[in-house]
Amino acid sequence: MAIKIFDVVIIGGGQAALSAGYYLRRAGLDFIILDNQATAGGAWNHTWPSLRLFSPALYSSLPGILFSTSKTDVYPHRNDVIAYLERYEKRYQLPIYRPHHVKTVLRDTQHNCLKVSDGKYSWLAKTVISATGNWSHPVVPELPGAKAFLGEMCHSASYKGVEYYRGKNVLVVGGGNSGAQIFAELDEVTTAIWVTREAPQFLPDEVDGRVLFERATARITGQTTDQPVGGIGDIVMVPPVEAARDRGVLKAKPMFTHFAQTGVVWSDGTEQAFDAVIWCTGFQPELSHLAALGILEDDGKVLNQDGQAIKEPRLWLFGYGDWVSPGSATLIGAGRSARDNIPKLVDYIRQSCQ
């Protein structure tokens, strides 16, 4: 019985994986996509119900199909994104198999390739694209007294929406777009306070995520050093945030010093009670499935050049953010990263894997 060796196995089923699949299909390569989700949408399935993109729909498209909605809202909701990704899969008939939660990637010396396994099934590939994203590895800072706090804690990755917190005193921690959006909607239904380590950076109303992406890309790629200040984490005035500003409540307090059993202690020594704390403090890449390759650095990342792992050139990384490719953790960035780097992967296969 002949051994099946794919040109590429993609791990992950979100926007980065779909973008890569689009260009791999155009190149005529033999590939599959292994998604650990039960349905289309990737990590967007786990975002909070009211989440909005901070880029307009037409500027948040993957290659091939424009992202447009029938709504008048400039900034689409997360459900719009999930529906768009589902349409995308069907339009291009991408070979997605789910759910398969890949646990390990190993070197297969017998067949001179990489072996991908979910613990039950295995697949062999000349190259592997890891596109698992960051969502499954939320970051929660360690602060004094946190273990003694008797209230509820959750990360924005598992935030349930405003109804769960109605009538509670809530502390929202984090100065990016997620912190601003969650605080803005909680303020309308309960008592909420927003805290940040540094003063949040609010952008002018006319600046959206598309502009931020272009500015960040220009700086990262060295195309310019004199672009106006603005990074992916700066706060875009999507409607709920703009409404909070207009109500005069979009104000963040400096970070507290430590937790108490029933709340937190501020820098002046006063204590304030809270029923719940929501951490909007970002994510780290989820790369535990690559640990057996011995290429993870102390920071948990992989040294790479244009997405290709330096210590294991048969491995490529897509969709993890600027350390892999500018803005690649965003919809528009995922598409551009695939456009720029898939041709290099195709050349590598044709030159080194025959």
CATH number at residue 345: 3.50.50.60
Say whether both 72 and 99 belong to one domain.
yes
Say whether both 258 and 347 belong to one domain.
no
Q: Give the β-pairing of 304-305 and 258-259.
A: unpaired
DSSP for residue 135: T
Whole-number pLDDT of residue 49: 83
Burial class (CB in 10 A: 0-12, 13-18, 19+), 27: middle
Say whether both 97 and 151 belong to one domain.
no
Domain residue limits at 30:
5-136+283-352
Query: Which residue from 235, 283, 243 is spatially nearest to 46, judged by alpha carbons?
Result: 283
What is the token pair recorded at 191?
Answer: 């008592």
Whole-number pLDDT of residue 24: 97
With respect to residue 191, please indicate whether it lies within any of the assigned structural domains.
Answer: yes
Domain boundary among 279, 304, 331: 279
With respect to residue 219, please indicate whether it lies within any of the assigned structural domains.
Answer: no
d(Cα 343, Cα 346) in Å, to the nearest integer? 5
With respect to residue 102, please indicate whether it lies within any of the assigned structural domains.
Answer: yes
Whole-number pLDDT of residue 230: 46
Cis amide prior to 99 (ω within 30 degrees): yes
Say whether both 150 and 95 belong to one domain.
no
With respect to residue 94, please indicate whether it lies within any of the assigned structural domains.
Answer: yes
Domain boundary among 219, 248, 279: 279
d(Cα 72, Cα 253) in Å, to the nearest integer? 34
Whole-number pLDDT of residue 305: 95
Please give the tally of structural domains in the chain. 2
Helix/strand/coil for 136: coil
Q: Judge contact between 338 and 19, C-beta under 8 A.
A: yes
Say whether both 75 and 44 belong to one domain.
yes
Whole-number pLDDT of residue 220: 41
Please give the radius of gyration of the chain, using alpha carbons only, rounded to the nearest integer. 22
H-only helix segments in 160-272: 177-186, 209-220, 239-247
Q: Which residues pair with 125 in a beta bridge?
A: 6, 114
DSSP assignment of 25-82 equals: HHHT--EEEE-SSSSTTGGGGGS-TT-B-SS-GGGSPBTTB----SSS-SS-BHHHHH
Query: Which residue from 336, 107, 45 is spatially nearest to 324, judged by alpha carbons?
Result: 336
With respect to residue 80, please indicate whether it lies within any of the assigned structural domains.
Answer: yes
pLDDT tens for the chain, 354 residues long, are: 678 999 999 999 999 999 999 999 999 999 999 999 999 999 888 888 888 776 777 677 899 988 876 565 567 888 999 999 999 999 999 999 999 999 999 999 999 999 999 999 999 999 999 999 888 789 999 999 999 999 999 999 999 899 999 999 999 999 888 999 999 999 999 999 999 998 888 887 766 655 555 555 454 445 554 444 445 558 888 888 889 899 999 999 999 999 999 999 999 999 999 999 999 998 888 899 999 999 999 988 999 999 999 999 999 999 998 888 887 888 888 999 999 999 999 999 999 876
Whole-number pLDDT of residue 215: 54
